[in-house]
Amino acid sequence: MPNDFLERDRFTATEESKLLHDLQCNILAPHRRVHSAHLLIGLPSDGAQARRYVGEWSDRVTRASEVAEDQAKRTRTLKRWGWWNVAWTGRWRIRVGKAVGWDRLAESEPRPALKRGLVRSFMVSHGALRADRLGRSEEIPLVETEFRALTGAGETEPMSWSAGAWERPFRGNQIEAQILLASDDLDELKEAVAAEQTRLETGDMDGRVLQTLWGYVARDRERRPVEHFGFVDGVSNPEVLESEYRWATRRHGVYRPRFPLKSFLFELNGSPGRYASFQVLQKIEQHVGRFRQLSQLEQEAMVGRKADGTPLEAMGPGGINDFVYDFEASKPRCPFHAHIRKSNPRLTKLRSEMAVLFPRRGMLYGEREADVTTGEFRDEPDSGVGLLFMGYMGGIHRQFGRMVKTWMANSRFGGGVHTQNVGEDLIGPAREPDPAKDYTTVLGGAYFMVPPLAWLEEFKPTAAAGSDQ
């Protein structure tokens, strides 16, 4: 790959194909499955067994190219069958079923041609890499540099701000790897989780599953993904693939969500042309009842959007993701402390600052009472529900660390415009969390490296045997 590869945001078809073939899924584009399971695991205690187990994943993880091909096939199916497929999998299927009294129709699954199958991803925790559990000393300097940068200048590491509220598996350095499984079929997913646990904990393996986090996608009556507070989610994400960029923008406007590859990936030490990604995983509890006590206007001001995703700021021709906060372009309508403004300043004159942004692949967790017809939530729990936050990036310190410490939790960061005390992001991470007052609480988190398939292949027994000769 060229020396400037990570700086680019456009690629030839050959370059993109080669890149997707070696990367795992869910980094450059989401897997788009409805259900997910995140197995936080401890690797086998024996180093050789741990390396063998990691090597076996080279034949089992889902390549990014496979998900891209699956999405292209789905698009062709939609074109062939027309928009009836979309209606059938959405609210019209439910309405028709209820109208004719055929509950089976109302509760049926989407057409088989549109259902997405099982995908797998495997990643190694920073703790396991720093402890050299896999005998990969090449990665230690990179991981150590990231960690030292997060705690530099006497600052605390942002993930630890709420460590007092963390659930047990996240405490200490117990988590050594994560298995991500996802599917549109919940039964298939449950079988896959059981199989992975059996594979890890039986036979000559003595690894263990510390905790399994279950995630899902919830949708409103318009079939748009929503989070537990009831706001449309996933509206804005950095894009780098041509297909994803076209889908995100639709029409050219004032905001350009196309970002260089370094926002997603980094180059492995000593391996030119081999790219990996860091993943930040957080389990964030949302206190829905407390948030719902606010007026609708207060909720919108805190988020920066209306519940349907419409921004408070004036939109350009490209729709709900096409807006900036340039005062020269419009009068400010969005509060400086709003969540979406704190996490993305959207100033065209601060284009360099946009390198901080990274793609988010969140899933909801926790059971809710929902209306059968519309899918909208009917209860307002204060605990037990929230977000499984997953951010993929090329640098934890320069992206996640800077966004949280310098922007979201910095009361004097006014989107690059004001340096007055505008307040912190009230639904984001807090330096001094207060579970009795905050609208969200981080219950745990971990940093991972999502390696390319070529890296995993180096741990396969055949490769290891050949290198020892």
- In this structure, which long-range contacts are made by residues 83-86, counting pairs with CB atoms below 8 Å and at least 24 apart in sequence? 85/111, 85/113, 85/114, 86/223
Domain enclosing residue 227, as ranges = 5-81+116-468
Question: Which tokens in the block code for residue 444?
Answer: 């745990």
Is there a domain that residue 61 lies in? Answer: yes
From the number of C-beta atoms within 10 Å of its C-beta (0-12, 13-18, 19+), residue 408 rates as buried
Query: Which among 73, 97, 93 is positioned nearest to 85, based on CA atoms?
Result: 93
Query: Which among 149, 131, 120, 110 is positioned nearest to 450, based on CA atoms?
Result: 120
Indicate the number of domains in the chain. 1
In the block, residue with structure tokens 């993930």? 159
Is there a domain that residue 103 lies in? Answer: no
The span from the CA of 202 to the CA of 416, in Å, is 54
Q: Which residues pair with 208 in a beta bridge?
A: 42
> Taking the mean position of all CA atoms in its chain, how far away is CA 381?
24
Q: pLDDT digit of tens for each residue in the chain (469 aa)? A: 666 899 988 888 899 999 999 999 999 999 999 999 999 999 999 999 999 999 999 999 999 999 998 888 877 766 665 545 444 555 444 444 444 444 433 333 444 546 789 999 999 999 899 888 898 887 888 888 887 787 766 677 888 888 888 998 898 879 999 999 999 999 999 999 999 999 999 877 899 999 999 999 999 888 889 999 999 998 888 888 877 766 555 555 778 778 899 999 999 987 788 999 999 999 999 999 999 999 999 999 999 999 999 999 888 888 888 888 876 555 678 888 899 999 998 876 666 677 899 999 999 999 999 887 777 899 999 999 999 999 999 999 999 999 999 889 988 887 666 566 777 888 888 888 888 889 999 999 999 999 999 999 999 876 445 444 3
Question: Which tokens in the block code for residue 459?
Answer: 């741990």
The span from the CA of 195 to the CA of 193, in Å, is 5
Is there a domain that residue 72 lies in? Answer: yes
- In this structure, which long-range contacts are made by residues 189-197, counting pairs with CB atoms below 8 Å and at least 24 apart in sequence? 189/35, 189/36, 189/37, 189/118, 192/37, 192/118, 192/120, 193/37, 193/39, 196/39, 197/39
How much is the pTM?
A: 0.89
Is there a domain that residue 108 lies in? Answer: no
Is there a domain that residue 105 lies in? Answer: no
Question: Which tokens in the block code for residue 415?
Answer: 């989107």
Is there a domain that residue 86 lies in? Answer: no
The span from the CA of 181 to the CA of 439, in Å, is 29
Is there a domain that residue 126 lies in? Answer: yes
Give me the amino acid identity at 258. Answer: R
Is there a domain that residue 29 lies in? Answer: yes
